[in-house]
Amino acid sequence: MRYGPTLKKEKNVTDSDPEDCGDVYTLTSIKTDTRLFISHHEGDRSTGAAINLFKDVERRRSIHSPIPVFTSDNWDPFEEGLVNVYGYLETPHYNGIGRKPLPILIPYPSLKYAQVCKKKEKGRVVEVLQRVVFGDPDEVMEALGIDSGGKINTAYIERLNLTIRNSLARFGRRGMNCSKDLQIHSHAIDFFQAWYNLVKPHKSLRIKINEGRKNGCSVLRQWRKV
The pLDDT, as a whole number, for residue 144 is 81
The pLDDT, as a whole number, for residue 23 is 80
Q: Is residue 223 part of a domain?
A: no
CA 185 vs. chain centroid, Å, equals 18
Residue-by-residue DSSP string for 126-156 = EEEEEEEEES-HHHHHHHH-GGGTTS---HH
Neighbour tally for 134: CB within 10 Å:
21
- pLDDT, tens digit only, all 226 positions of the chain: 555 556 667 777 777 777 777 788 899 999 988 889 999 999 888 999 999 999 999 999 988 889 999 999 989 999 999 999 999 999 888 888 888 889 999 999 999 999 999 888 888 889 888 889 999 988 888 888 755 556 788 889 999 999 998 888 888 766 677 777 888 889 999 999 999 998 888 777 776 665 555 555 555 555 555 5
Rounded to whole angstroms, the Cα distance separating 15 from 152 reads 42
φ, ψ of residue 188 to 5 degrees: the values are: -65, -35
What is the extent of the structural domain holding 120?
Answer: 2-218
Strand pairing category for 112-121 and 124-134? antiparallel
Rounded to whole angstroms, the Cα distance separating 114 from 79 reads 9
The pLDDT, as a whole number, for residue 201 is 84
The pLDDT, as a whole number, for residue 111 is 94
Rounded to whole angstroms, the Cα distance separating 187 from 4 reads 16
The pLDDT, as a whole number, for residue 4 is 55
Q: Which residues contact 44 (CB under 8 A, 6 or more apart)?
A: 23, 24, 25
Q: Is residue 179 part of a domain?
A: yes
Give me the number of domains the chain comprises: 1
Rounded to whole angstroms, the Cα distance separating 81 from 49 reads 8
- Can you give 161-212 as a three-state secondary structure string? HHHHHHHCHHHCCCCCCCCCCHHHHHHHHHHHHHHHHHCCCCHHHCCCCCCC
Q: Is residue 144 part of a domain?
A: yes
Q: Is residue 64 part of a domain?
A: yes
CB 85 within 8 A of CB 55: yes
One-letter identity of residue 32: T
Rounded to whole angstroms, the Cα distance separating 93 from 103 reads 10
pLDDT in tens, 184-196: 889 999 999 999 9
φ, ψ of residue 90 to 5 degrees: the values are: -140, 135
CB 172 within 8 A of CB 165: yes
SS3 34: coil
Quote the strand ranges of 44-123, DSSP E. 69-73, 87-90, 104-107, 112-121
pTM of the prediction? 0.81
